[in-house]
Amino acid sequence: MQNFSIIYTLLGGLGIFFFGMKIMSDGLQGMTGDMIRRIMNSLSTNRVMAVGAGLGVTMLVQSSSITSVMVVGMVNAGLMTLKQAIGVIFGANIGTTITGWFLALQEPHHGLLFVALGFAPGLFAKGNRWQQIGKALLGVGLVFVGYSTIISAFVPLRNDAEFIASIAAFGGENYGAWIASILMGCALTMVLQSSMAMLGITMALATTGIIGFHTAVALVLGENMGKTVTAMLAAMNANVSAKRAARAHAMFNLAGVVVVLFVLPYFFGFIDWLIPGEADLLAADGTRPNINMHIAATHTMFNLLATIAFLPFLNTLASMMTKLTPDDEREKQVPYLLLLGNPTDMLPATSLLQAESEIRKMADIVSRMYKVTRDYWQGEDDPKKLAKILDYERITDNIHKEVTVFLCYVMERPLSHHQSEQTQALIKIADELESCADYLERLATYRERFRGGDTLEGDSRHEFFSFMDEVHGFFALTIQGLEKNAVQDMERIVAKSEELQIWADSIRDKHLDRIAKGAYKPVTALTFSDMVVALRKIRTHAFRMSQSVEALNLENE
């Protein structure tokens, strides 16, 4: 009966711990979505900045696994280079150690205190920011409650001779026991798919007196190896660059563990020197009051020292991964459409970044399509240019479909109100760009009507190309807001849009006057009108797009 009680208490504690981690992470993401977006947008080739970005994002979401999967997704989408990704992973390994310090410093009553502070704003607050703050506090409280429950499950085991004998092989003061503990920590982390949960179990075993400090350190080293599996799984169906990033993560953590293993006795001494109090000191109640601080310090110092040691060799590590994972020739056969990742494996903020990257590419394709369409109209009737225009239109259709489906899946995730508005804005932008491409295709096909000998010459031709250039300039103005850190001048856009509307009516009326005077054949009236209408529709869709771009770039209030 006691064994059954221990099992359901342990599983219940783990369930509360996992649930708390999820709620806390969701709340933190809701509070800091814009901050994460800005951090990832500001990535540069500077390796220290990349480490800082990984550290910052992981501290905000409290999960290195989420950050690692995010990095794989961003590399897969071409938003991040391999060197940047490795730097971010270095920082993520450091950032995830913050949770260990929270667990080491928490008292039994802290969990219920945070639950009390978080449930009211989380459930009843009207403002989105307060709701997310409440969720984050509630999540922290549940993590602490779950951790305390895990501890209570382990307390009876310290007096269970059979259980102590079964784990005796892991408690020895020799390399055999340490390696066994490392492998056990790695295996359990792979099963749980959460290094934080495994760290909580390790701390609970240590603080109840079941395992000693040296065993706990070895388990922590194993956890750092096991947590790389999540990113490896995420990269299985990704492109070569994403596979390289995931394998670099695994190689970095494995190499760090191997290096520390060779100097493990000195590492124990370093942690004992760094943190006051004897790690294995037993209190009267059978617990070890000092050990959790030592474990938290172990987790932090291992990742910090490994990052400092490997950072100068970041380029070497990237080159090694490139050689170990050669380019796939099949990927070179797909010159367009960056593959979006699985939104269920990513932070909402980085899902939006990926979609935004696709839309920037879509806007660039539409801009190029516009230039080719103008050249096609201005020069000779070139079938190759027409084929290129039709190909561009097909590509924009594919991107539009891919982005829309991707964002619909994103909308099924828990999003803040601001993220929901950004998602809708991105869908609308994709819609407007696809409509612009459709009208450019129509404009190109209208040229076929002039193959019977009719031509567009003189003032009408000059006015049409002038108007076409102005509409292209207006389109370029509206997509500027999609660039990183761009400031959009809506007053200028509104004024230019109204000017183009009046201009379209004016040149069409002038063409009709010329037809009435016999300067052109009446059949050109319909074609010219359709050409102007197509450009006017492009102006309309570009203006609507600018409104959605403004909504996308609004800061969270």
Least confident of 48-57, 321-330, 414-423: 321-330
Contact 62, 21 (CB under 8 A): yes
Write out the DSSP string of 221-265: HHHHHHTHHHHHHHTTTS-HHHHHHHHHHHHHHHHHHHHHHHTHH
Q: How much of the chain, in percent, has pLDDT values that exceed 90?
A: 8
pLDDT in the model for residue 366: 93
> Measured in whole angstroms, how far is the alpha carbon of residue 334 from the centre of its chain?
23
- Per-residue pLDDT of 96-144, as tens digits, reads 888 888 888 877 677 888 888 888 776 676 666 777 788 888 888 888 8
Distances (CA, A) of 455 to 93, 220, 474, 528: 67, 78, 27, 11
Predicted local confidence at residue 554, as pLDDT: 72
Minimum mean pLDDT range among 37-41, 205-209, 348-352, 426-430:
37-41
> How does residue 370 score in pLDDT terms, banded at 50, 70 and 90?
very high
Q: Does residue 359 have a pLDDT over 70?
A: yes
Express each pLDDT in 297-344 by its tens digit: 998 898 888 888 888 888 888 888 888 877 765 544 343 344 556 666
- Asked whether the predicted pLDDT for residue 455 surpasses 70, the reply is no
pLDDT value of residue 34: 65
* pLDDT of the residue at 451: 62
Average pLDDT, the chain: 80
Residue 151 has pLDDT above 50, yes or no: yes
Dmax (CA) for the chain in angstroms is 109
What lies within 8 Å, CB to CB, of 37 at 6+ separation is 349, 350, 352, 353
Provide the sign of the torsion angle of the four alpha carbons 272, 276, 282, 286, taken in this order: negative
Q: Which CATH number fits domain 343-553: 1.10.10.60, 3.40.47.10, 1.20.58.220, 1.10.4160.10?
A: 1.20.58.220
Task: Work out the pLDDT band at 77, boundaries 50, 70, 90.
Answer: low
Rounded to 10°, the helix 195-207/175-192 angle is 130
| Boundaries of every domain in the chain | 2-329, 343-553
Statement: residue 256 has pLDDT above 60: yes
pLDDT for 374 beyond 70: yes
Name the H helices within 62-212: 64-76, 82-95, 98-105, 110-124, 128-154, 161-166, 175-192, 195-207
Confidence at residue 514, expressed as pLDDT on a 0 to 100 scale: 67
